[in-house]
């Protein structure tokens, strides 16, 4: 889980998409809050360097969070065997939320697809043969035991 989280290649499962949304939101929220706190504390102290540092932290956290979210969304779309460009639908307010829920709850493509191997290691359904040949041995003796018993009966006579 979380192999190359900033890469746009490959496929991820629903649980990884869900967890990446939660973890990404928490990390972004903490970094952004620290940036805002540094900005306001620097401005209150009259330090231009502190304000600039706070703005810089906020910008870096925002860019990293957007990149991370886009990469995870594209990989989830790849698991659904869809183009990564469909992630742009999420920019449309109400339709984007519905599409994000679809990405969260839809089951991925079974087996490998053009974007990589199945993250659940499932294989496509292959029908089983309709007839099966079975050989059953119903004798009590196995071929290895039969000569040994004949020798015993000959010695007894």
- Residue pair 86/74 in contact by the 8 Å Cβ criterion: no
Q: Domain residue spans in the chain?
A: 12-103
> What does residue 110 show for φ and ψ, rounded to 5 degrees?
-80, 130
- Residue pair 64/56 in contact by the 8 Å Cβ criterion: no
Q: What is the pLDDT along the chain (157 residues), one digit of tens a residue?
A: 777 888 899 999 999 999 999 988 888 888 888 877 887 777 677 766 667 777 787 788 888 888 999 999 999 999 999 999 999 999 999 999 999 999 999 988 888 889 888 888 887 766 666 777 778 777 777 666 555 555 555 555 5
Closest CA to 100 of 29, 7, 20: 20
What is the pTM assigned to this prediction? 0.69
Using CA atoms, how far apart are residues 73 and 90, in angstroms rounded to an integer?
A: 9
Please, what's the b/e burial string for 53-82 (b: 16 or more CB within 10 A of its CB; e: otherwise)?
ebeebbeebeeebeebbbbbbbbbbbbbeb
| Residue 12 structure tokens | 């991820």
CA angle 18–13–16, rounded 5-degree value: 35
Using CA atoms, how far apart are residues 48 and 86, in angstroms rounded to an integer?
A: 42
Using CA atoms, how far apart are residues 89 and 95, in angstroms rounded to an integer?
A: 7
Q: E strands, the chain, where?
A: none
Question: pLDDT at position 92, please?
Answer: 93
């Amino acid at each position: 889980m979380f192999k190359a989280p900033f890469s746009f290649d490959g496929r991820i499962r629903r649980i990884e998409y869900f967890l990446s949304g939660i973890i990404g939101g928490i990390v972004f929220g903490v970094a952004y809050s620290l940036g805002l706190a540094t900005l306001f504390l620097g401005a209150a102290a009259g330090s231009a360097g502190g304000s600039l540092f706070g703005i810089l932290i906020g910008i870096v956290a925002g860019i990293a969070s957007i990149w991370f979210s886009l990469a995870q969304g594209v990989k989830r779309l790849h698991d659904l065997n869809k183009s990564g460009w469909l992630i742009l639908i999420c920019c449309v307010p109400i339709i984007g939320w519905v599409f994000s829920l679809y990405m969260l709850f839809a089951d991925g493509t079974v087996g490998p697809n053009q974007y990589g191997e199945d993250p659940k290691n499932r294989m496509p359904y292959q029908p089983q043969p309709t007839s099966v040949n079975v050989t059953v041995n119903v004798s009590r003796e196995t071929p290895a035991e039969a000569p040994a018993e004949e020798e015993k009966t000959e010695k007894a006579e």
